[in-house]
Chains A and B, each alone.
Chain A
Amino acid sequence: MRKIALISLATLALLPLDAQAKSDPFTNNDSAFLIESCREAVEIYQKRDQQNLLAGIATSMSEALRAGFCIGVVQQHINSSDNCYGTDWLEAASTIAALSVTTRWNTRKRLLQEAVCDD
């Protein structure tokens, strides 16, 4: 019994205990994830424009899923107010992709308001 307890304790000790948990993209505070996702989206469209079939062959599932997340967030923001009507989402995504991930944005909403359009 004690042996098992010791082994369990040892195993627990070896598990990485991150001070930062994996960031949850659905909180308002994670702009870094949004910026990185929009970078993926921009890259996929660059491949699309470069050569037929290239995007489909050279994009991993994770990259595509992240890109989809960016597209969704940006389109949602654009559709949320009349002020933003007509904004091209791919251009908006490019703007976001060019932002620095180290800048501290208070909320993702602020990022979108400043980088895309102010709703």
Chain B
Amino acid sequence: MTDGLTIPEAIRRIFGVDVATESPLLKNKAMSLERNGLIKSSRTKAVERSSIMIGVDQLTPLHNALVLNAVFSDPKQVKKIFTDRTYRTECAQILKKLFGERDSLLGIALRTDAAFALSEALDSNWDLNDKRLPNPFEQLPQVALGKDLSVLQALLAQASTLAPADSVLLAYLKGDLKRAAELVDACGFPPESEVGLLGHHIKAKLKEAADFDDLLDMLRKS
């Protein structure tokens, strides 16, 4: 009998999420973090197959790693935040620009004071292995978005360096109308503003494209 936890048990204890039913993605991310050495584990010598067990002392780093992973989707990046001070500071700046004045990100509600506190914590000497970071997400994006995490990544990559209005325009010009429409919604521009009008135009184009799809489907059968 060991006194460790399996990764699903650990996630249940930290976030109250049952990965088997709610988020295999979250479990996979946690396992990647164990594989790359950030989370320390031991393998039981069980009879049929060995399980990965982590100690209770790994719960805090795991919590922090998964919260950071919501924004920085590559487990390598997350490990680097723990180990490389300069990189950690850069990421803190990204978080500041990203969360800004927002109270939601792609429809996932943010606790704004926690969002601010998270970027401050990352910027400071906060011990990531010892103290749990403030979690700004009402629900972790890995759970909420599932396999659409790439949408969030794309959004973040844009938002981290561009003003929100630029992100919308960039997506539109690249022909990625869906993302442009999502960005308009996520950033909550007032409808009369220029970007709001652009958003309206984008949605009209998307509707037109959907109607075109329907027309094509109808013609195909005739």
A contact residues vs B (CB 8 Å cutoff): 44-45, 48, 52-59, 64, 71, 75, 89-90
Chain B residues positioned under 8 Å from A44 (CB to CB): 216
Q: Find chain A residues with CB under 8 A from B211 CB.
A: 56
| Contacting pair B216 A57 (CB below 8 A) | no
Pull 21 A–B residue pairs with CB atoms less than 8 Å apart, ordered by A. Answer: A45-B216, A48-B213, A48-B216, A48-B217, A52-B210, A52-B213, A53-B177, A53-B178, A53-B209, A53-B210, A54-B209, A55-B209, A55-B212, A56-B208, A56-B213, A57-B175, A57-B205, A57-B209, A58-B175, A89-B222, A90-B220
What's the Cα separation between A56 and B178 when bound, in Å? 12
**Which residues of A are found within 8 Å of B213, using beta-carbon distances?**
48, 52-53, 55-56
Interface of B is mostly: helix
Query: Is B219 an interface residue, CB under 8 A from the partner?
Result: yes
Q: How far is the CB of A32 from chain B (nearest CB, A)?
A: 24
- Which residues does chain B contribute within 8 Å of A57, judged by CB atoms? 175, 177, 205, 209
In this assembly, does B162 line the interface, its C-beta being within 8 Å of a C-beta of chain A? Answer: no
* Chain B interface residues toward A at CB < 8 A: 175, 177-178, 205-206, 208-213, 216-217, 219-220, 222
| Complex contact B220–A45 (CB within 8 A) | yes
- Which are the 3 A-B pairs with shortest beta-carbon distances? A56-B209, A56-B212, A53-B209
Main secondary structure, interface of A, reads helix
Given contact pairs A53-B178, A55-B212, a sample of 4 additional A-B residue pairs in the complex whose CB atoms are under 8 Å apart: A45-B216, A53-B209, A53-B213, A56-B208
A23 to B172, CA, bound (A): 37
Which of A52, A59, A71 lies in contact with B219, CB distance below 8 A?
A71
Residue of B nearest to A59 (CB): B212
A75 vs B212: C-alpha distance in the bound complex, in angstroms?
20
A64 to B211, CA, bound (A): 14
Q: What's the Cα separation between A52 and B132 when bound, in Å? A: 42
Nearest CB in chain B: distance from A74 CB, A: 11
The reply to whether B175 and A56 contact each other, CB–CB distance below 8 Å, is no
Residues of A within 8 A of B205 (CB): 56-57
Report the separation of the CA atoms of residues A6 and B33 in the bound assembly, to the nearest whole angstrom: 82
**In the assembly, what is the distance between CA of A48 and CA of B214, in Å?**
10
Which residues of B lie under 8 Å from residue A48 when comparing CB positions?
Answer: 213, 216-217
Residues of B within 8 A of A71 (CB): 219
CA of A57 to CA of B176, assembled, Å: 9
In whole angstroms, what is the CA distance A55 to B213 when docked?
7
In the complex formed, the residue of A with least CB distance to B212 is A56
Residues of B within 8 A of A59 (CB): 212
Q: How far is the CA of A54 from the CA of B177 in the complex (A)?
A: 10
* Chain B min CB distance to A93 (Å): 11
B199 to chain A, nearest CB (A): 16
